[in-house]
Amino acid sequence: MARHPRVLVRGVQLQARQLLRSDLSVEVSHLRAGSSGDRDRSCDFTLSPAAASVLVGPNGTGKTSLMRTLAGIGHGTVRFSIDHRSLDPSVAAALDFLGFDPSYRVGPAISELETAADATAETLLRFEALSNRFMLPDVAGRRIGELSLGTRQKLRLCLALSQPATLLLLDEPLRALDQAACAVLIDLLNQRAYGSTYALVSSHQDTGDLLGLRIDAVSLMASARD
């Protein structure tokens, strides 16, 4: 079955006991970043399992390019490691929500939660619980193009947050969400109420639009090297 591009999962999940005690080191090179894509950049940073990390920077600085590269679909090279040991982590990502193919039906994407490589008995239950928290209406029988931008974003978040992945990537997750949904997302991130061990969230502003989120790392783009 072809995977819908809005849910990206790759790699092999490590046992939780191997992950919870250590930071995840990330090294990126040959990143084609920026609005024109003409900058070859490198960066390195670490992600803690104790709290979500936030990638902050203005539009056009390469946040989405970096997130796509971390998800395995961008133009760049990335190396993940824990305690100096390389690994290929499973990744659940909510990226480029405006890029939904309007012809896709929602139902198959939800069904894939049960057949993903790292799926557990709790995956679909977590999706249903998240749908209730976000007040996501029943959209299984509808096409993406029939949904409002806010509903698309809620759907994307529910799909990504429910995955039992090693790394969760959320690109501009508050965009198009109403105030209540924003509060739900921040609470979920604070409580680590998602299926992944590590989480990286991007924002085009400073932390003002993430008020209330306990942040482990800010301005990771400052570690970038041209």
d(CA 86, CA 209): 34
pLDDT (tens digit, 9 = 90+) per residue, 160-215? Answer: 999 888 899 998 898 899 999 999 998 888 888 888 889 998 876 555 455 555 55
Global pTM?
0.82
With a cut of 70, say whether residue 221 has pLDDT above it: no
- Name the most confidently modeled range: 24-38, 80-94, 113-127, 189-203: 80-94
pLDDT (tens digit, 9 = 90+) per residue, 5-25? Answer: 333 333 333 334 344 568 999
Tokens 């619980």 locate to 129
Average pLDDT over residues 105-123: 78
